[in-house]
Chain A
Amino acid sequence: MTTQDTLIHAEGLSLHYGKKLALDQLNFSIAKGRVVGLLGHNGAGKTSLMKAMVGLHDHEGRLDVLGLQPQRDRVKLLNEVTYIPDVAILPRWATVEQLIELMTGLHLKFSAERARTLLKRTSVKTTDKIKTLSRGMVVQTHLALIAAVDARLMILDEPTLGLDVLSRKAFYEMLIDEWCDGERSVLISTHQVEEIEGLLSDVMMLNEGKLVLDIPLDQIDDRFVALKHDPQAAEAIAAAHPILRYRQQGESAALFDGAPPAHVASLGQRMRPSLVDLFVALTRAPEINPQR
């Protein structure tokens, strides 16, 4: 059921590249006002999913984006959704001002004034040529341009890849300041799991085309239990089938999906389950750590 508050809805969403199954029966919804992190190893299906959402790849099953069907309504959709693909390239010959003019002609909902205001947060000048800008500045420019489109949904495929810490920080700040108004949503895929955790309201994890986790961050503590414990408790802990056993700052730790039995829980000290640990637990490459 799609309401005004649901921006994306998928049911039985699958996607093939020839014979290869890239997405396997995904069911999920993304509401307005959310910052959704899409996590997964390379080849897990993140880019495929984003391409399907913006109508760049066909799919099986149901996928509604802003009430539209991405492939059929692609032109209309592109005025409502902004997208930075993982191989985003801005024309090197152009100046930033020329790109602003270009966007004005291309996008009904682009505001040149807003773009210029957003660019003031950066060290980029409108007279700069793209080819003279560092990688971090190019990404900031790109983000400023698409954030100036009055869209309800922003889809970013690994926008911070290859950026240094300062550039990433500037990127996150712009995202929080300029996009998180409770009405718009962002879907962002990234490898910077630890860094982005605080920014997210929801997380979706893909493993080999399957959606292995889809949860609001504030529910993670309710569902998952992480325990730090002494080495002596290791056997008893293992017997309760944690989804991951690992070491945290020199101490043994275990992660459970659902509360372990009380006698096991009392053997350790409860910690906040981190997104990184969840990611490792739920998306382990089979050949490295065989599933139990």
Chain B
Amino acid sequence: MPTWDDRQPIYRQLADRLSGALLDGEPPEGEPMPSVRALAAQYMLNPLTVGRALQALADDGLLDNRRGLGLFVRQGARERLLALERQRFLEQEWPMLRTKLRRLGLQMDELTWEA
């Protein structure tokens, strides 16, 4: 059974996982999201929690709600998601990383870009 960490509410963690999938093109833009029921069964969660996660994605402008048809991945969702993730990295993760680099005394030219 999928496990959930102690850092964020479960619906938020699910929203992050679904966002990750969207970045990978799962589902592709313009295609329908899996149903609440399918996601609830897949992640073993209450449908209400799944609904909350999907609402969070919709609030971030990643999904369209087409009356009678359900939620679809909005055109441009990947770009939007990348922009949101970049912003989050630059505003939250990068300052923490930078502090650590300073603490360790690492210089920029010691960091290699190539894997």
Is this pair of chains taken from one and the same complex?
Answer: yes
Q: Is the CB of B47 within 8 A of A182?
A: yes
Please, what's the 1-or-0 string for B40-62, where 1 marks a CB less than 8 Å from any CB in chain A?
11011111110010000000000
Determine if B89 is an interface residue (Cβ-Cβ < 8 Å).
no
**Residues of B contacting A199 with CB < 8 Å?**
44-46
Determine, out of B4-12, B66-74, B91-99, the stretch whose residues face the partner at the interface: B4-12
Picked from A182, A195, A201, A271, the residue with its CB within 8 Å of the CB of B1 is A195
Picked from A176, A201, A217, A272, the residue with its CB within 8 Å of the CB of B6 is A272
Majority-rule SS of A interface residues: helix
In the complex, the number of residue pairs spanning A and B with C-beta atoms less than 8 Å apart equals 59
Q: Is the CB of B52 within 8 A of A218?
A: yes
Give CA–CA (A199, B48) in the complex, Å: 9
Determine if B37 is an interface residue (Cβ-Cβ < 8 Å).
yes
**Residues of B contacting A176 with CB < 8 Å?**
37, 40-41, 44-47
Determine if A248 is an interface residue (Cβ-Cβ < 8 Å).
yes
Chain B, interface size: which category?
A: 20 to 34
Give CA–CA (A182, B51) in the complex, Å: 12
Closest Cβ neighbor of A195 among chain B residues? B1
Determine if A28 is an interface residue (Cβ-Cβ < 8 Å).
no
User: Restricting to B1-41, which residues have a CB under 8 Å from any CB of A?
Assistant: 1-2, 4-11, 37, 40-41
User: Restricting to A222-265, which residues have a CB under 8 Å from any CB of B?
Assistant: 226, 248
Residue among B9, B40, B44, B46 having the largest count of chain A Cβ atoms under 10 Å? B46
- 10 contacting pairs across A/B (C-beta < 8 A): A176-B37, A176-B47, A180-B37, A180-B46, A180-B47, A198-B1, A198-B45, A200-B46, A271-B6, A272-B7
